[in-house]
Chain A
Amino acid sequence: KQEVTQIPAALSVPEGENLVLNCSFTDSAIYNLQWFRQDPGKGLTSLLLIQSSQREQTSGRLNASLDKSSGRSTLYIAASQPGDSATYLCAVRESASYDKVIFGPGTSLSVIP
């Protein structure tokens, strides 16, 4: 059974620092992996989606990488800002269907001014 973990559960960094969030999954046979942002008490906003055939995706200061063989994805945030403070979740899609998605528990990021 696919399991998705995210370490650390919480992270606090000073403004301007570059940082990496980690996502691990146990079964490498995935369809795609998606990173979301969730602000306190709010819904999920999609940040980046990486198909299984891709190695990385970039959007502005964000870069997500995928290494299927090792069951890992990282989300790199450059030059962090206080507005980046949120919980970041990764979600693994196991097959080309809507119901086979496993979400990680999230990493709570706090960027200190």
Chain B
Amino acid sequence: DVKVTQSSRYLVKRTGEKVFLECVQDMDHENMFWYRQDPGLGLRLIYFSYDVKMKEKGDIPEGYSVSREKKERFSLILESASTNQTSMYLCASGSTGTTTYEQYFGPGTRLTVT
């Protein structure tokens, strides 16, 4: 079974802090993704990566950056956390060798910025 893990289930940070969210997958997938999920807005893509050290902006990249130094690990960075970044963050991974482009999701990190 594909396993996608996220470093924290719940996180509380203060405004202005630098925040790191870590995601690890164990299926040797080339592609990894970060989404945020907010009530009434659905999931929105922040960034994705199709290879080590490669990244592409999604729909809402402002205020975020990412890092992918190893194939299995994809980090989301909030350089200076703000209250409007309070949200559920979901990481996903997927393989290039597929016609369905199916994604496998982690359990999520509930981030609260106070």
Footprint of B on A, CB under 8 Å?
Answer: 4, 31-32, 34, 36, 41-46, 49, 51, 89, 91, 93, 96-99, 101-106
Beyond A96-B99, A97-B101: 18 further Cβ-contacts under 8 Å?
Answer: A4-B42, A41-B108, A42-B107, A43-B107, A43-B108, A44-B92, A44-B105, A46-B102, A46-B104, A51-B99, A51-B100, A91-B43, A93-B101, A98-B94, A98-B101, A99-B45, A99-B56, A106-B42
B40 cross-chain contacts in A, Cβ below 8 A = 105
Find B105's partner among A32, A43, A93 (CB 8 Å cutoff).
A43
Size of the chain B interface, CB-CB below 8 angstroms: 29
Q: Say yes or no: A43 contacts B4, CB within 8 Å.
A: yes
Could you give 17 example pairs across A and B, Cβ below 8 Å?
A32-B101, A34-B102, A36-B105, A41-B108, A41-B110, A44-B90, A44-B92, A51-B100, A96-B99, A96-B101, A97-B101, A98-B50, A98-B94, A99-B48, A99-B56, A103-B44, A106-B42
A103 cross-chain contacts in B, Cβ below 8 A = 42-44
Q: Which residue of chain A has the shortest Cβ distance to B4 in the bound complex? A: A43
Q: B63 → chain A, closest Cβ, in Å? A: 19
Q: A61 → chain B, closest Cβ, in Å? A: 21
Q: With A and B bound together, what is the CA distance between A4 and B33 in angstroms? A: 20
B50 cross-chain contacts in A, Cβ below 8 A = 98
